[in-house]
Structure 1
Amino acid sequence: MLSDSEAAELLSFLTPATRPDVKGRATEYILGLSGHRDGCRFLRSRPDLVAALLALTSDPSIAIVKDCFHVLINLSADETLHQVLVNDVGVLPVLLKNLVDPEYVFSDQICTILSNLSRHEKTCRTVFKVLQEQLGVAQLVDIFCTEGYNQKAKLHYLGPLLSNLTQLPEARTCLLDPDRCVVQRLLPFTQYQASLVRRGGVIGTLRNCCFDHRHHEWLLSDAVDILPFLLLPLAGPEELSDEENEGLPVDLQYLPEDKTREEDPDVRKMLLETLLLLMATKAGRRTLKDKNVYPIMREFHRWEKDVHVAAACEKLVQVLIGDEPEPGMENLMEVEIPEEVEEKLKEADAKEQEELQKEENSRSGPTQ
């Protein structure tokens, strides 16, 4: 790695006044450093270099700005650099200021950096705090949901950013405010075919929101009507009986022969997990049973080939067709599980995952 004198010389090249060709070679060199672990470790010890790169994101040279953002993406992918980027370099105010600019060329890169920085709870809290100070979650959702907000960027990675933010109860509270139409705006994106990243991010956000069981009745009510948006991606073209169709939400009735299901198994699993969370409360179970969810899940299970997704579907079906829990245990999220029982459940879950992996390996066959 560079000596202190070499690092100081490199830093002297990273100024707005430096000749563009010299500046460009310096940013290219740091980009190369950021591509491997030792280079990232070195840059972690030199926040002054990273701060200089952040300043150069306003350079007149597009090539230099592109290199600087590429470095920041690489560094933000390394959790050990998160505190340096957020606290020592102070990237968040600069990134968020540029993100809200509808003319900014590098907003997609900003979305990726923010998504990386918000993956882990500690830094996510800082991201959320600065976000609330500068624009707020509601405005972030507004930007995300406004088609063509930035003609030069797709902003798909705002989806994973929202998903990461909603690991925090305070972020979920902002989205689930009954007096503001925030979470409702995200619902149509559960079937957004142009981007798996955006679609998966929204479904992850909705799943996280469903951890707050006190909002389940509201989410399932006509005020939000979340259920059809979770079920439609799992529903296929299979013909159901008139009786089964009539019990379903209107959007799920008599689906066309060309109806396709969500293509990504991870997203299908998240949808099932969201439905299962909604069934943790008595009101949620009653609603899903009253809305005749079972036939959709029955046909989905027959169709599903991924063993992990099929297992998640089986758990959901067991709750759908099972008896109600005993009095005092209606809210499954509030039931206290004895420590020894919890250990046994963990062991059973680990064994189940092992069996599923074996089954998946046997299906895929030997590799060539």
Structure 2
Amino acid sequence: MGECGVSSRSGTLVEPVATLAEPEATPDGEAAELLPFLTRSARADTQAAAAQHALALTGSEPGRVLLARQAGLLRALAELAEAAAPVPARDAARALVNLAADPSLHEQLLAADPELPARLLGRALDPQWPWADEAAAALANLSREPTPCAALMGTLAAAAPGSGLERLVCALCTSGYNARAPLHYLGPLLSNLSQQPAARAFLLDPDGCVIQRLLPLTQYSDSSLRRGGVVGTLRNCCFEHRHHEWLLGPGVDILPFLLLPLAGPEDFSEEEMERLPVDLQYLPPDKQREPDADIRKMLIEAIMLLTATAPGRQQVRNQGAYLILRELHTWEPEPDVQLACEKLIQVLIGDEPECGMGNLLEVQVPEDVEQQLQQLDRQEQEQLEQQQQGLAGESRGKRPAAT
């Protein structure tokens, strides 16, 4: 059923912060001349102008590549991003967001300043820092790739008790943690980190009560970034099949939190209503489904992972998941999400796998069969793209009726 890994690399969860208009790229020598003006000892006005110019350069790929060749400039931006001067610190932090949005530059960023993840983390989790959201966005961008993600996880693991992942989750789950920064980017950051086994071990510790704190955020209406990041985190945690019984049991009861965003205002019969968890019964007539198609798909994928074992499938069936998915399949406008929903429904209503395939996450697929399945997936994706293009063409071709 695939390897664990929901990151924000799709681009729907993390976007670079908007920058100034793109200037013409300057030669390396001219770029290097910025360095003296970016140091903390520089005059405030020249420092602000230099930071603004560096930010403008990051608005284009040539500008980002140009800056990435200057290790001294990268270090200066990293140091300036945590300086007390407000405007230069803001622009330096935003420049780092844009640089980190380019995966090809991650190696240069970390080589120039190996302490960059720790610097950014300290500022992102500082409840008084006004540019904490920029720091969190830069970390979310950096953590999309395995190497910087592992480096950041190492920083978190080395932190004092209560200062690492625990503090990150606290900041994510606490409304108003930083009065001057919404910190929505902590959602995709945690999603990326949850690709690491150590992060999942922390999140799934039965004694830590961490995963339970995240569950209400699947309904967080103020930000799809935060909501999607949490759903991605939950999906990654569902790869740990050893915890499925606990996740589905009364200690966590994860399934209603995954199903509720997929539910609409349908009026089920009394018999069907009794099969649903209490939180899914008698929903109001104005109940809206999750508006983001990518998040809907991740919710479906998380439930699919929970059906990897026979006990998991039975628990998902017993909680009436089929009823919610049946209505979702009828309503779903996105072909790829509808297909994911259809596959999950087939698992729930189909025959049980043959003996020896009790855990679908541990089934060894022969190489030739895997290649055939990959080919089918590619064909399926091509058909979906053609279908979407056809729908777009029909929409463009429509004309108002004559009156």
Cα distance between partner residues in 1 of 2:379 and 2:81? 50
Alignment partners' CA distance in 1, 2:207 and 2:31: 53
**Separation in 2, partners of 1:112, 1:104:** 14
Give matches, 1:75-114, under 5 Å: 75-89=99-113, 90-114=115-139
Aligned-partner Cα distance in 2 for 1:18–1:180: 47
Where do residues 112-123 of structure 1 align in structure 2 (5 Å cutoff)? 112-123=137-148
Deviates more, 1:95-104 or 1:111-120: 95-104
Name 1:294's counterpart in structure 2.
322
Residues 222-279 of structure 1, C-alpha deviations (whole Å, 9 max, x = no match): 0000000000001111111111111111111121211111111111111111111111
Q: 1:20 to 1:280 in 2, by over 3 A?
A: same
Verify the 8 A CA contact 2:82 2:123 in the aligned structure 1.
Answer: no
Matched, 1:259 2:283: no
Tell me if structure 2 keeps the 8 A contact 1:69–1:109. Answer: yes
2:59 matched to 1:31? no
Q: Secondary structure at 1:122's aligned position in 2?
A: helix
Secondary structure of 2:176's match? coil
> Which deviates the most, 6-15 or 134-143?
6-15
What is the match of residue 73 of structure 1? 97
8 Å contact from structure 1 (residues 272, 312) kept in 2: yes
Counting aligned pairs with the same residue, the percent is 51
Residue 362 of structure 1: aligned partner: 390
Cα shift at 1:3: 4.5
| CA displacement 1:148-199 (0-9 Å, x = unmatched) | 1111110111000010011112211110011110111000000111111111
Closer/same/farther in 2, CA of residues 124 and 266 from structure 1, 3 Å limit: same
Give 1 or 2: higher helix fraction: 1
- Map residues 1-368 of structure 1 onto 2, 5 A cutoff: 1-4=26-29, 6-89=30-113, 90-134=115-159, 135-366=163-394, 367=396
SS in 2 for 1:333: helix
How far 1:59 sits from its partner (Å)? 3.8
Equivalent AA in structure 2 for residue 166 of structure 1: S
Mean CA deviation greater in 137-146 or 20-29: 20-29
Give the length in aligned residue pairs. Answer: 367
**AA aligned opposite 2:109:** L
- Do the aligned partners of residues 178 and 293 (structure 1) sit closer, same or farther apart at CA in structure 2, a change above 3 Å counting? same
CA RMSD of aligned residues (A): 1.5
Name whichever of 105-114 and 346-355 sits farther off. 346-355
Question: 2: distance between equivalents of 1:78 and 1:46?
Answer: 16
The one-letter code of the counterpart of 1:276 is M
Question: Residue 9 of structure 1: CA displacement?
Answer: 3.5
Greater displacement, 101-110 / 356-365? 356-365
Matched residues in 1 for 2:111 and 2:219: separation?
37
Structure 1 CA distance for aligned equivalents of residues 264 and 143 of structure 2: 35
TM-aligned CA deviation for residue 61 of structure 1: 3.2
User: Which amino acid is the alignment partner of residue 239 of structure 1?
Assistant: D
- Shift, 1:216, TM fit: 0.8
Question: Which residue type is aligned with residue 38 of structure 2?
Answer: L
Quote the Cα distance in structure 2 between the aligned partners of 1:294 and 1:224: 20
* TM-score after normalising by structure 1: 0.96
Distance 1:204 1:249, change over 3 A: same
C-alpha distance after superposition, 1:35-92 (max 9, x if no partner)? 2222222222211111112222244432211211111111111112212323421212
CA contact (8 A) 2:322 2:345 kept: yes
Contact 2:217 2:227 in 1 (8 A): yes
Which SS does the other structure have where 1:365 is aligned?
helix
Counterpart amino acid of residue 227 in structure 2: R
Q: Give the Cα separation in 1 of the matches to 2:123 and 2:92.
A: 14
Shift of 1:28: 2.1
AA in 2 matched with 1:137: L
Whether the aligned pair in 2 keeps the contact of 1:75 and 1:81 (CA below 8 Å) is yes
- Is the contact made by 1:15 and 1:52 (CA closer than 8 Å) also made in structure 2? yes
2:31–2:66 Cα contact (<8 Å) kept: no
What SS does the aligned partner of 2:274 have? helix
| One-letter amino acid of the structure 1 residue matched with residue 88 of structure 2 | I
Residues 53, 365 of structure 1: CA spacing in aligned structure 2 closer, same or farther, 3 A cutoff? Answer: same
- Structure scoring higher RCO (CA < 8 A, sep ≥ 6) equals 2
Which blocks of at least 5 consecutive residues in structure 1 are unaligned? none
1:7, distance to aligned residue in structure 2 (A): 4.7
Cα distance, 1:24 vs structure 2? 2.0
The 3 A distance-change label for structure 1 pair 234 and 129 is same
CA distance in 2, matches of 1:226, 1:2: 55
Distance in 1 between residues matched to 2:167 and 2:32, nearest whole Å: 41
Q: 1:293-316 CA deviation, whole Å, 9 max, x = no partner?
A: 111111111111111111011001
Distance 1:12 1:291, change over 3 A: same
